[in-house]
Amino acid sequence: MKRLAHIFLTIFFVTFSILSCKNNLKEEDLNQNKIVAKAKTYKFLKKGTPGLSTQARDLSIQWEAFSQFFEEIQSLDGETLEGLKSKIPTLVTISDSLSVKIPDTLNTKLIQARVLVAKTRVKILDQEINKGRPDTLKIKTALTKLNQSLTNLIIQINQKIIKSSIDRQRSENEKKELEKQKQFLDSVYNAELANKKLKNK
């Protein structure tokens, strides 16, 4: 009986020791993952990302929130998790003011839609980096998608500037053409009037 009890106790302690080791390993892995997540730097900017055209850059000066938004996203590239956590509150604040202060010349439905997507991407990034157990892959994906939303907004701004420039040029051309037609009609009228005066003499 004593032997059976001894065997039972031996099995119990061996099992307990194995489970304790596994728990310790899990805790070590978790701690190691946290250390890796904190130390990792997040590079997400790509070469060839479109920039603002000269006209759009000049116009963006009137849209201070956009200029700040652009600079803040650029500054996130290469940051650690702790660096992202320190910068995200400022980015959230700036993104909230984006849609409030769009210049009239850029305030179109398409640009409003791009701004809304960018604001949503900021909030998703905020959620990912402030999770209890941050997922480095999800953070990288959130950063990439945020940068893509900025790229799409820039493209839309450039297209709006180009369209406005084309419309303005077309309007100027139409005015010039109307002026030419008016001058031609005036000259015809004056010529006919001169002919009538000659006939009446």
The residue with tokens 């202060």 is 101
The residue with tokens 């950063």 is 143
Share of the chain above pLDDT 70, in %: 60
Of 24-38, 81-95, 151-165, minimum mean pLDDT range: 24-38
Token duo for residue 32 = 């190691």
Amino acid at 96: D
Q: Give the whole-angstrom CA distance, residue 68 versus residue 63.
A: 9
Token duo for residue 110 = 């398409």
Tell which residue, 133, 27, 6, has the closest CA to residue 19. 27
Amino acid at 92: V
* Residue 5 pLDDT exceeds 60: no
- What integer pLDDT is reported at residue 17 of this predicted model? 52
* Residue 113 pLDDT exceeds 80: yes
Over residues 25-83, the pLDDT tens digits come to: 445 444 444 444 455 788 877 666 667 777 777 777 788 899 899 999 999 988 999 99
Tell which residue, 135, 149, 152, 140, has the closest CA to residue 44. 140
Mean pLDDT of 177-190: 64
- What integer pLDDT is reported at residue 11 of this predicted model? 53
- What integer pLDDT is reported at residue 32 of this predicted model? 44
The pTM for the full model equals 0.66
* Residue 181 pLDDT exceeds 90: no
- What integer pLDDT is reported at residue 44 of this predicted model? 76
Q: Give the whole-angstrom CA distance, residue 86 versus residue 33.
A: 20
Helical ranges in the chain per DSSP H: 2-39, 54-60, 64-76, 81-98, 109-129, 136-200
Token duo for residue 40 = 């990792």
Token duo for residue 22 = 């596994």
> Rounded to an integer, what is the distance from CA 169 to the centroid of its chain?
31
- What integer pLDDT is reported at residue 37 of this predicted model? 47
**What's the angle, vertex CA 28, arms to CA 9 and CA 131, rounded to 5?**
125
Token duo for residue 123 = 């909030």
- What integer pLDDT is reported at residue 51 of this predicted model? 75
